[in-house]
Structure formats: structure tokens, C-alpha cells
């Protein structure tokens, strides 16, 4: 059994698991400690210092996301000293970028915006001085605005440690520091596979989904969990709907398995076919030679298919019929399809497009 570590958090005696950080122990007790750079499943870096807390007998404030608990530790998360430090960090981040919430896609879902409101900051005490980087719109999937970047490194760790694509990293130093592919290249000129993990990890509006721009505010979006249709892995994802239209796709981390919230480029950006104007919404049949395709009911289409299959089977035998299944179907649907071909049609001529 794992050993328990006794400690005190905000005057409350609690127990934590050995090896847990102060942040993890506090959250397990329902105590909120704000964070920006902390990102689950990646390395703890303690870069933003928003999560600082007071620890008795410690000379300075400590980053709760990195500091492991120890027996008898006395922690305070809400003292004036802690709040003053958090306010200073948030004001510096606000002043160092172009955080114009009015036109930002993350308005209402921005972690920096939430902290500004929570800490009651009406205006930073420092002059706002955005770096003036050009907005990157060279691809159709992601938009990158480094003027909003807070250098938390979450996109870097998501790219390197979760997806292991190793495209992003820090470059330059001091006020010139920025995040991006090697040699300052934009995404389209790099080896990026456009999985979108960086946009999912970004706590602000520095990396956003281009197809979702001006399509709906976060509070207007309805999220529906579903299974990705592109292969048999069964990745769980959230369809972000506005007025019944899919505006973007995000990973579902709450459900966890099997993908842990990560998605590939097809799963995240390949669902534009759902609302494409060329998509067939009713069956089309052509009964005779030279006849144009015409719309039909599903019952008429199924009857037409069954009659054609029956005629071929009776005239030439079942082995003159073959079936090709689709990777966009679920494993259960593909199982039923091959069962239909073998048990109903009576042929083993069945294949799958993922094998070709």
C-alpha cells in the first residue's frame, strides 16, 4: 500500500499520497490553486509561478506544481503574500502581450482572462507593450498569434511529450523569446503533421483553430462526445456544435481511453465532409440504362439493392458478389458486414479498405 503523508493545507489537516505535489494534494481536497503552465501528462516545469504557495519555514514562495509534499508540511494558499505574487505575475503577462479579448477566439475560455477576473485586476500597473509579431495564417487548420503567447510551454510539451512530434521549442531569450518550429519557420514550412495538440493545450488565444474563427463563442458551443470515424482505434472526441453545425473538434480528456484526449490530423480536422454541400443526403438510384440518377426513399433503395444482389446470386452464384468494408465504420459495423457477406450472401469475397 502507498504510504500517506500528513500535512496541513489552509489550516486543515489532510493526508496526501507519497510523491504527490502540493498542487495535486490541494486539488484532491477541493482546494483551488491557479495554474497556467501546469499541464497533465507532461513534465512539471514551474515556469509561470502562478501556482505559488507559502510553506512554513520556507524562505520564499514555492511553486506548488513542482514541490512534492513532505510529512508535517504546513501550507497556505490564500495569504496576502501569495495573492500579491499571483497578481504581479498575471499583470506582467497581461502587459507583455496583445490580449484583446473582444476579437479573441478564446474569449470566455481563456485561463489568463479567468485569472485576471479572479484576482480582481482592472488594469495592469505596467504599460502594455505587445511584441508585434505577424499573425500566422499560412495553413487552413491552425492560426498562430505569438502576440498572445504567455510562454507557458504547454504547446511544446504537448507536441514533444504527448504526440512526440518534436516540432515546437523555445527560441531566443528575454523579451525576444518565442515558441515555434526550428529556425523561426511557420507551421506549413515545418515537419508539423497538424494534429492540433498544441491548440488544445494552449491556455490563451495564441494557437486557435482557423475553421472555428467567428463561428461561435465558447459559451454558445455545445459539446457532444463521440467516437472518431476514421479508423478502428476508437478515439474519443468532442464535437463542438453551434446551431447544429460542427465548428471544430477537440479531444475528450475526461473520458480518457483509448486516446487520452489526443487526436490525429484526420480526427481533428477531417470532419468538414459532414456539412459539405456535395454530400449525399438521400439515396440515388438508376434503374435502367440511360436513366438519370433520381432521389429515392431508403426503403426503395434497400429493396433495389436486395433485388440486384438476389438476381446476381441466383444467376451466377454468390462468389460473383464481393464486398468492401470501410475504415470509417465501427468495428461492430464491419463485423456485421462480413457476417452478412458470409452468412447471407454466402461468399468469402470480403475485404477492408484499410488493408489496401
Is the domain of 289 the same as that of 236?
no
What are the tens digits of pLDDT across the range 229-238?
Answer: 887 788 899 9
Is the domain of 288 the same as that of 331?
yes
Residue 236, domain member (yes or no): yes
Residue 293 CA to residue 276 CA, distance in Å, equals 20
Residue 251, domain member (yes or no): yes
Is the domain of 274 the same as that of 289?
no
What are the tens digits of pLDDT across the range 208-218?
Answer: 999 999 999 99
Residue 254, domain member (yes or no): yes
Is the domain of 18 the same as that of 44?
yes
pLDDT at position 322 over 70: yes
Residue 22 CA to residue 33 CA, distance in Å, equals 9
Domain assignment of residue 310, given as a range: 284-355
Residue 110, domain member (yes or no): no
Domain count, the chain: 3
Average pLDDT over residues 17-44: 93
Average pLDDT over residues 296-311: 94
Residue 263 φ/ψ, nearest 5 degrees: -140, 155
What are the tens digits of pLDDT across the range 180-195?
Answer: 999 888 899 999 999 9
Average pLDDT over residues 125-140: 92
Is the domain of 340 the same as that of 300?
yes
Average pLDDT over residues 224-252: 90
Average pLDDT over residues 18-41: 93
Residue that is last in its domain, among 227, 244, 279: 279
Residue that is last in its domain, among 23, 56, 78: 78
Cβ atoms of residues 236 and 330 within 8 Å: no
Residue 43, domain member (yes or no): yes
Q: What is the CATH number of the domain that holds 16?
A: 3.10.20.740
Q: Could you give the 3-state DSSP secondary structure of residue 16?
A: strand
What are the tens digits of pLDDT across the range 73-127?
Answer: 999 999 999 999 999 999 999 999 999 899 899 999 999 999 999 999 999 999 9
3-class secondary structure for 226-293? EECCCCCCCCEEEEEEECCEEEEEEECCCCCCCCCCCCCHHHHHCCHHHHCCCCCCCCEECCCCCCCC
Residue 237, domain member (yes or no): yes
Of residues 53 and 330, which shows the higher confidence score? 53
Q: What is the CATH number of the domain that holds 274?
A: 2.20.25.90
pLDDT at position 329 over 90: no
Residue that is last in its domain, among 78, 107, 125: 78
Is the domain of 297 the same as that of 343?
yes
Is the domain of 296 the same as that of 329?
yes
Q: What is the DSSP string of 204-216?
A: SSSEEEGGGTTS-
Q: Which residues pair with 178 in a beta bridge?
A: 171
Is the domain of 9 the same as that of 71?
yes
pLDDT at position 256 over 90: no
pLDDT at 233: 82
Of residues 305 and 2, which shows the higher confidence score? 305
Residue 217 CA to residue 107 CA, distance in Å, equals 7
pLDDT at 122: 92
Is the domain of 255 the same as that of 315?
no
Beta pairing, strands 350-352 & 323-325: parallel
**Closest residue by Cα to residue 313 from 289, 336, 354, 345:** 345
pLDDT at 1: 46
Residue 168, domain member (yes or no): no
3-class secondary structure for 39-72? CCCCCCCCCCCCCEEEECCCCCCEECCCCECCCC
pLDDT at 195: 93
pLDDT at position 356 over 60: no
Residue 180 CA to residue 185 CA, distance in Å, equals 7
Is the domain of 35 the same as that of 65?
yes
Average pLDDT over residues 3-16: 91
Residue 161, domain member (yes or no): no
Residue 298 CA to residue 211 CA, distance in Å, equals 33
Is the domain of 9 the same as that of 61?
yes
> Nine-digit cell at 180?
515555434
Cβ atoms of residues 217 and 107 within 8 Å: yes
Average pLDDT over residues 301-310: 94
**Closest residue by Cα to residue 352 from 341, 226, 316, 263:** 341
For the chain, the average pLDDT equals 92
Is the domain of 24 the same as that of 38?
yes
Amino acid at each position: 500500500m502507498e504510504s500517506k503523508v500528513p500535512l496541513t493545507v489552509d489550516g486543515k489537516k489532510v493526508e496526501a499520497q507519497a510523491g504527490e505535489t502540493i498542487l495535486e494534494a490541494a486539488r484532491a481536497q477541493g482546494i483551488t490553486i491557479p495554474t497556467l503552465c501546469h499541464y497533465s501528462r507532461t513534465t512539471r516545469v514551474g515556469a509561470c509561478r502562478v501556482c505559488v504557495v507559502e510553506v512554513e519555514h520556507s524562505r520564499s514562495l514555492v511553486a506548488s506544481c513542482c514541490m512534492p509534499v513532505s510529512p508535517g508540511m504546513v501550507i497556505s494558499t490564500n495569504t496576502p503574500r501569495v495573492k500579491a505574487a499571483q497578481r504581479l505575475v498575471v499583470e506582467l503577462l497581461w502587459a507583455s502581450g496583445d490580449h484583446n479579448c473582444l476579437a479573441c477566439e478564446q474569449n470566455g475560455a481563456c485561463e489568463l482572462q479567468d485569472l485576471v477576473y479572479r484576482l480582481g485586476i482592472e488594469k495592469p500597473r505596467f504599460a502594455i507593450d505587445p511584441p508585434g509579431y505577424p499573425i500566422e495564417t499560412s495553413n487552413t487548420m491552425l492560426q498562430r498569434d505569438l502576440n498572445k503567447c504567455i510562454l507557458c510551454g504547454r504547446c511544446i510539451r504537448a507536441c514533444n511529450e504527448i504526440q512526440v512530434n518534436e516540432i515546437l521549442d523555445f527560441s531566443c531569450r528575454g523579451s525576444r523569446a518565442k515558441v515555434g518550429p526550428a529556425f523561426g519557420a511557420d507551421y506549413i514550412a515545418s515537419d508539423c503533421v497538424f494534429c492540433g495538440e498544441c491548440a488544445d493545450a494552449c491556455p490563451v488565444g495564441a494557437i486557435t483553430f482557423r475553421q472555428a474563427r467567428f463561428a461561435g463563442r465558447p459559451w454558445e458551443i455545445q459539446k457532444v462526445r463521440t467516437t472518431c470515424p476514421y479508423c478502428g482505434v476508437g478515439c474519443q472526441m468532442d464535437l463542438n456544435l453551434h446551431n447544429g453545425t460542427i465548428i471544430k473538434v477537440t479531444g475528450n480528456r475526461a473520458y480518457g481511453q483509448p486516446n487520452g484526449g489526443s487526436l490525429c490530423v484526420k480526427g481533428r480536422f477531417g470532419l468538414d465532409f459532414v456539412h459539405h454541400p456535395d454530400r449525399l443526403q438521400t439515396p440515388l438510384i438508376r434503374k435502367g440504362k440511360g436513366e438519370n440518377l433520381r432521389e429515392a426513399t431508403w426503403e426503395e433503395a434497400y429493396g433495389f439493392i436486395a433485388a440486384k444482389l438476389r438476381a446476381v446470386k441466383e444467376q451466377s452464384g454468390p462468389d460473383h458478389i464481393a464486398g468492401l468494408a470501410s475504415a470509417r465504420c465501427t468495428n461492430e459495423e464491419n463485423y456485421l458486414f462480413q457476417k452478412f457477406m458470409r452468412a447471407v450472401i454466402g461468399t468469402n469475397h470480403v475485404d477492408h479498405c484499410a488493408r489496401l
